[in-house]
Chains A and B, each alone.
Chain A
Amino acid sequence: MSDYFTPVTLSDALEWLACGQGRVAAGCTDLFAATSYQNMPGPVVDITGIAELSGIEVTPEGWRIGSATPWSLLRDADLPAAFDGLRQAAAEIGSVQIQNAGTVGGNLCNASPAADGMPALLTLDAEVELASVQGRRRLALANFVTGPRQTALQSGELMLAVHIPATAGAGTSTFVKLGARKYMVISIAMAAARVLILEGRVAEIAVAIGACGPVAKRLDALEKALLGRDVDEVREQISQALIAPDISPIDDIRADRAYRMDAALQMVQRAVSGAMEAGK
């Protein structure tokens, strides 16, 4: 017997979550895939009826993406070029069916090391906004996902939105994904990059990699090395040595560790080149 709650206000949702062990459900693409039962094991708090959790808006400080926003909405949204990588990632998530149901917040809270939404959002300096009956807080996305299937979300807490600061809206971006087939494939490795080129030099750069460690990560050492470089020398500067400190790939059924080390370099090179190319 399951309990399935469908609050239409945020305060109701938070009340439900505060008083029980209820799981938050939105697109259900992960929750239903994880059970063999025909009814989703409860208790469940379905947040898709709460209007303020869905949609993308421009705010004085940047952009706010509601946590229950389906990926298809993001994929088709009219956003600056800095979001192209994120929109490309949205188009690579599962299938059209999954993109129509699966949500941005779900992808982050599920905390798969291969979550396709993570790298691009990291390059956009995303913050997540969390709420419980105790109040709201904000956290950098990089600090939100703490390990495979682990997040900073506390009991009774709900993700409200992802915030992109206005400063991250600069430049152009690309997302690249590597898998063993074309559609519906769990990534072997993936990378996203956002760059701002001014006067032929790298004025801003954000590069992130996914499926090459327990959580997707920004490549700090690489970014430092590339900042201020002439565009023509960027590609040759991207080396294994600059990436290796930030990744720790594993052997699994999709690829082995050694391959992922090689692939990481390739994916990062392609993402950065792609992002620079998009800016030309």
Chain B
Amino acid sequence: MKKMNASIQLRVNGENRWVDAESSRRLSAVLRDDLQLRGTKIGCDAGDCGACTVLLDDAPVCACLTPVAQVRGREVTTVEGLSDGALSKLQNAFLRHGAAQCGICTPGMLMAAVGLVKTTPRPSRAQVETALGGVLCRCTGYKKIIDAILDVGEFPEPVALPVAGAAVGAPIERLDGVAKVAGTEVFGADLVPENTLLVRAVRSPFHAATLTFGDIENWRFQHGLEAVFTANDIPGQNYYGVIPGFEDQPALAQEFTRYKGEAVALVVGAPKLVEALDLETFPVEWREVSPVLTQEQAGVAGERLIHEACKGNVLISGRVVQGDAKSALENAEFIASGAMNTAYVEHAPIEPEAGVAWMEGEVLNIHACTQAPIMDRDTTARILGLPLECVRIRASATGGGFGTKLDVSVQPLIGLATLLTGRPCRMVYSRSISMQSTTKRHPASMQANIGIDAGGMLQAMEFAGDFNTGAYSSWGPTVANRVPVHASGPYRMPNYHARATALHSNGPTSGAFRGFGVPQAAILQEILFDDLAEMAMLDRLEFRRKNALQDGDRTVCGQEMHGVGIGDCLDALRQSWDKANEEVAVFNANSQTLKRGLGVASCWYGCGNTALPNPSTIRLGITPDGTLCLHQGASDIGQGANTVITQICADAMGVAIADFTLINSDTFLTPDCGKTSASRQTFVTGKAAEAAGRVLRKNILGMVNTGEAAQITLLDGKIAVNDGVISRQIDPKTLETNSHGYVLMAEETYDPPTKMLDENGQGVPYAVYGYGAQMAEVEIDMTLGTTRVVKITAAHDLGRVINPLLSEGQIEGGIAQGLGMALMEEYIPGRTENLHDYLIPTIGDMPEVEIVLIEKPDPEGPMGAKGLGEHVLIPTAPAILNAIRDASGARITQLPALPHRVLAAIKEAGK
């Protein structure tokens, strides 16, 4: 055979480069592996996500679909070619507009945009959308990306960082943003130490199977591999979970597998060898077992049990009971009843899971994407039988998470390979492995009855939901507990009976996904509210406003509420609602095929763990040379913790943002800030940062005896303090350093005050809640059943807006995910393991978004702040579904509302 992989000459970013690569190799691999240009990201290797977009002679192409042979004699431009020492105008515009959140799609977005402005220097919005239609973003909702590109012709004014005391409330750029727009950010797949071995997992091809290994050693030898590991090689406990008491998942399955894509063996060796392996030749004999795939199948008595210990395949049930819902419903004037079924939803972060591990002495180091470094450490140590101090998690930049990166993925696997080979080992999931093997949003089958009195006041609600929790427990218990607490919505519900049950199946494990089951429950509740409003002959917005929780009211858990902003959110929509209703009526009077409609829905969401401790600790110290270091251990997965926590800390301490040096998530360097989940970081870690800032300030002022309002300035290695009367200077060099190397230090912990829930779910599940309401305007094609979301107006109560720019980014991104959940996202195990069969919204699917930020201070939150991250997704889907029904009469009972389902529902409504 003739091998044509002699040296290939490329021209990349204006330079001639030679690589020794096979002609048939993907350009993306050559750029990243051979030329170390890792700004080009790989999200799918199939042309579905556009993250690898580069310019080939000025035309955007997917580097993953381009054989390097085709690049000979042509000019390749990558993100590294955009900044020549300083960021380009476009990159600055991205930064200033908040167009990069996690940053993983940013290089692809930039290159597609550069391709556009080369031919069209002042593009229209429509031209931007078409040019960027091939790059997926899961964080931003695309709005700020469009704004940045439309603004690029302007000379961007550099925005100065706010002065001391003015950080909170300022729309500052993200503090970690430069690396994201420069393409230099180091994600899970971007760190490759020399001589790193590549690891791949042998995975179950069936939803359920038993297995027997053949002669593994012989196969290993034949293929020239360094090692093959199975469950027998695991030195610690081969079962883990995210919640104590629910450790049911093996790192490597033995004898049988419970879902398609479950790992049973690791192959380890030289990267080029392992990469090219056909794992179907691995010596394992599979025997397929008839699978249980849905919550309905799982619940049928006599069905096969997924876990022996879970009778009826029930993992857990959660319930909240208040008053007597049954008799209150009997006495209600009107009752709305309904059912709703939702689909598996895939998080689809554009960064597939990846990481690298290496040994430093006795310490196993793991650099991987994550939302929960301390949990990664604990789980990995447990599986590998290591003491906690021998595992160091150095969180990489994380290219989106949305809940799926709370669970370990590559960490214990590369940890095992590194521990046993002594060599650095690396693992990078392909898109299909990521989709098969990581967690999903729970599919839910829900039923509810809600009753009101003649005046339209809520009297009672019954809710029952079965949630398909898949093969392993993961966050199933959290979903089962959170759903009954929240299923009433932010409304007064005097009588209430809610149950949520997590059922095992052979589907992929359902875990945490932005909202932990609450978005599913809110859909059913808000749809029934439209029925109730109609029965009571009340305007739908007015019905919600009448019943909205107010300060001093008690929730379905009996918790007395303060700082309740839902009424303000609904009021903020009133004007738009009335105006839009008039416009819709006019539109519909003049249109037959296209009909428009409006919908509204609310959300509330408790921030932090449900009635369980979840402390965060922040350390703040000043070094002898006067550097102020903030140990910020909250994973920033794009949402902005690095920036927001610093803003809070800066104002608490009374120093300028620019004075901070950030030390990010590393279990050897940053104290535990818990996990990035449950919309808790701004609240819980923010509160710890606020306390740390205050304490350090107090310590400094105490040293020089100045008044409480004194100004602290860090300048030329000195700490200057001035209260207008006294001016003092502290020279840190003259002070003693502590064990952390600081001359002055504060370390503060905050744990939200909650109260255990009793057997009826009564107690104080959360210390802080956030609220929101969204209004959707849609346009339905009555003959095709297609839905176009025209506009979303979103009012969210943040208590105190720490950073308006980042808050808007969260809201727009949440709306995009809510829209996807409502209209197109449906993960079918074994069938939609790619991003062309599993659809997430593109830039062209986003509606106009109008945002109203409301500040109803929370008595507990830092400076009044509340969480936002998950809230933003909850109202979107029900608002859209209510709008679809308003427009067309279609009552959707199965998500997503694909065109064929909408058209069938339109026909049904017309009968």
Q: Which residues of A contact B (CB under 8 A)?
A: 1-6, 25, 27-29, 32-33, 36-42, 44, 46, 48, 72, 91, 94-98, 100-101, 178, 180-186, 188, 253-256, 258-259, 262-263, 266
- Which residues 841-855 in B have Cβ within 8 Å of A in the complex? 841-845
What is the 8 Å Cβ interface bit string for chain B, positions 173-190, against chain A (1 contact, 0 not)?
000000000000000000
Shortest beta-carbon distance, B180 to chain A, in Å?
Answer: 21
Shortest beta-carbon distance, A169 to chain B, in Å?
Answer: 27
Q: Which residues of B contact A (CB under 8 A)?
A: 1-4, 22-26, 29, 45-48, 50, 53, 56, 59-62, 64-67, 69-70, 112, 115, 129-131, 133-135, 275-276, 430, 432, 783-786, 823-824, 826, 828, 831-832, 836-837, 839, 841-845, 898-900, 903-904
Shortest beta-carbon distance, B434 to chain A, in Å?
Answer: 12
- Extra 5 A-B pairs, beta carbons < 8 Å, given A39-B22, A96-B60: A46-B67, A46-B69, A91-B130, A94-B134, A256-B900
Cα(A197)–Cα(B45), bound, Å: 46
Task: Indicate if the CB atoms of A253 and B903 lie closer than 8 Å.
Answer: no
Cα(A183)–Cα(B126), bound, Å: 13
Choose among A182, A188, A255, A258 the residue that contacts B844 (Cβ–Cβ < 8 A).
A182
In the complex, what residues of A have CB within 8 A of residue B831's CB?
A: 253
Choose among A3, A39, A98 the residue that contacts B47 (Cβ–Cβ < 8 A).
A98
Task: Indicate if the CB atoms of A38 and B275 lie closer than 8 Å.
Answer: yes
Shortest beta-carbon distance, B399 to chain A, in Å?
Answer: 19
Cα(A29)–Cα(B130), bound, Å: 19
In the complex, what residues of B have CB within 8 A of residue A36's CB?
A: 45, 430, 432
**Given the contacts A39-B276, A97-B53, A184-B134, A25 and B783 also touching, CB distance less than 8 Å:** no
Task: Indicate if the CB atoms of B842 and A184 lie closer than 8 Å.
Answer: yes
Task: Indicate if the CB atoms of A183 and B842 lie closer than 8 Å.
Answer: yes
Shortest beta-carbon distance, A112 to chain B, in Å?
Answer: 11
| CB nearest neighbor in B for A263 | B784
**Given the contacts A39-B276, A48-B70, A255 and B898 also touching, CB distance less than 8 Å:** yes
Cα(A169)–Cα(B236), bound, Å: 73
Q: Which of B24, B129, B784, B904 has the most CB of A within 10 A?
A: B24
Task: Indicate if the CB atoms of B65 and A33 lie closer than 8 Å.
Answer: yes
Cα(A44)–Cα(B69), bound, Å: 11
In the complex, what residues of A have CB within 8 A of residue B135's CB?
A: 95
Task: Indicate if the CB atoms of B26 and A6 lie closer than 8 Å.
Answer: no
In the complex, what residues of A have CB within 8 A of residue B783's CB?
A: 262, 266
| CB nearest neighbor in B for A6 | B69
Choose among A27, A97, A178 the residue that contacts B784 (Cβ–Cβ < 8 A).
A178
In the complex, what residues of A have CB within 8 A of residue B903's CB?
A: 259, 262
In the complex, what residues of B have CB within 8 A of residue A48's CB?
A: 70
Task: Indicate if the CB atoms of B134 and A253 lie closer than 8 Å.
Answer: no
**Given the contacts A4-B4, A180-B898, A181-B845, A97 and B826 also touching, CB distance less than 8 Å:** no
**Given the contacts A3-B4, A6-B23, A178-B784, A97 and B112 also touching, CB distance less than 8 Å:** yes
Q: Which 3 A-B pairs have the closest CB atoms?
A: A95-B134, A182-B844, A183-B133
Choose among A91, A98, A185 the residue that contacts B62 (Cβ–Cβ < 8 A).
A98
In the complex, what residues of A have CB within 8 A of residue B25's CB?
A: 38-39
Shortest beta-carbon distance, B594 to chain A, in Å?
Answer: 13
Shortest beta-carbon distance, A21 to chain B, in Å?
Answer: 13
Shortest beta-carbon distance, B77 to chain A, in Å?
Answer: 14
Cα(A27)–Cα(B66), bound, Å: 8
Task: Indicate if the CB atoms of A42 and B898 lie closer than 8 Å.
Answer: no
Shortest beta-carbon distance, B618 to chain A, in Å?
Answer: 42
**Given the contacts A3-B4, A33-B47, A36-B45, A183 and B843 also touching, CB distance less than 8 Å:** yes
| CB nearest neighbor in A for B897 | A180
Shortest beta-carbon distance, B458 to chain A, in Å?
Answer: 36
| CB nearest neighbor in A for B48 | A184
Shortest beta-carbon distance, B436 to chain A, in Å?
Answer: 12
**Given the contacts A32-B26, A39-B276, A97-B134, A259 and B46 also touching, CB distance less than 8 Å:** no
Shortest beta-carbon distance, A68 to chain B, in Å?
Answer: 11
13 contacts between A and B (CB under 8 A): A4-B24, A32-B26, A32-B64, A39-B276, A72-B59, A96-B133, A97-B112, A98-B65, A180-B839, A181-B845, A183-B134, A184-B134, A262-B903
Task: Indicate if the CB atoms of A32 and B65 lie closer than 8 Å.
Answer: yes
Task: Indicate if the CB atoms of B62 and A101 lie closer than 8 Å.
Answer: yes
| CB nearest neighbor in A for B28 | A38
| CB nearest neighbor in A for B844 | A182
Task: Indicate if the CB atoms of B1 and A1 lie closer than 8 Å.
Answer: yes
Choose among A6, A28, A41 the residue that contacts B65 (Cβ–Cβ < 8 A).
A28
Choose among A28, A181, A188, A263 the residue that contacts B841 (Cβ–Cβ < 8 A).
A181
Cα(A181)–Cα(B783), bound, Å: 17
Choose among A29, A94, A253, A266 the residue that contacts B837 (Cβ–Cβ < 8 A).
A253
Shortest beta-carbon distance, A109 to chain B, in Å?
Answer: 16
Task: Indicate if the CB atoms of B61 and A180 lie closer than 8 Å.
Answer: no
Cα(A249)–Cα(B814), bound, Å: 36
Shortest beta-carbon distance, B562 to chain A, in Å?
Answer: 42
In the complex, what residues of A have CB within 8 A of residue B836's CB?
A: 33, 184, 186
Task: Indicate if the CB atoms of B133 and A4 lie closer than 8 Å.
Answer: no
Task: Indicate if the CB atoms of B899 and A188 lie closer than 8 Å.
Answer: yes
Q: Which of A48, A188, A253 has the most CB of B within 10 A?
A: A253
Shortest beta-carbon distance, A115 to chain B, in Å?
Answer: 14
| CB nearest neighbor in B for A28 | B65
Cα(A233)–Cα(B837), bound, Å: 39
In the complex, what residues of B have CB within 8 A of residue A25's CB?
A: 67
In the complex, what residues of B have CB within 8 A of residue A178's CB?
A: 784, 786, 899
Task: Indicate if the CB atoms of A4 and B823 lie closer than 8 Å.
Answer: no
| CB nearest neighbor in A for B839 | A181
In the complex, what residues of A have CB within 8 A of residue B841's CB?
A: 181
Cα(A94)–Cα(B836), bound, Å: 10
In the complex, what residues of B have CB within 8 A of residue A32's CB?
A: 26, 45-47, 64-65, 67
Shortest beta-carbon distance, A211 to chain B, in Å?
Answer: 13
Task: Indicate if the CB atoms of A5 and B61 lie closer than 8 Å.
Answer: no
Task: Indicate if the CB atoms of A96 and B134 lie closer than 8 Å.
Answer: yes
In the complex, what residues of B have CB within 8 A of residue A27's CB?
A: 65
**Given the contacts A96-B133, A97-B50, A97-B61, A180 and B899 also touching, CB distance less than 8 Å:** yes
Shortest beta-carbon distance, B584 to chain A, in Å?
Answer: 22
| CB nearest neighbor in A for B902 | A259
Task: Indicate if the CB atoms of A255 and B900 lie closer than 8 Å.
Answer: yes
Cα(A32)–Cα(B135), bound, Å: 18
Task: Indicate if the CB atoms of A46 and B134 lie closer than 8 Å.
Answer: no
Task: Indicate if the CB atoms of B823 and A180 lie closer than 8 Å.
Answer: yes
Shortest beta-carbon distance, A35 to chain B, in Å?
Answer: 8
Cα(A257)–Cα(B1), bound, Å: 48
Cα(A96)–Cα(B828), bound, Å: 28
Task: Indicate if the CB atoms of B839 and A182 lie closer than 8 Å.
Answer: no
Cα(A190)–Cα(B120), bound, Å: 30
Cα(A96)–Cα(B786), bound, Å: 24
| CB nearest neighbor in B for A269 | B783
Choose among B46, B131, B842 the residue that contacts A181 (Cβ–Cβ < 8 A).
B842
In the complex, what residues of A have CB within 8 A of residue B65's CB?
A: 27-29, 32-33, 97-98, 101
| CB nearest neighbor in B for A46 | B69
In the complex, what residues of B have CB within 8 A of residue A255's CB?
A: 898-900
Cα(A186)–Cα(B824), bound, Å: 13
Task: Indicate if the CB atoms of A184 and B133 lie closer than 8 Å.
Answer: yes
In the complex, what residues of B have CB within 8 A of residue A97's CB?
A: 47, 50, 53, 60-62, 65, 112, 134
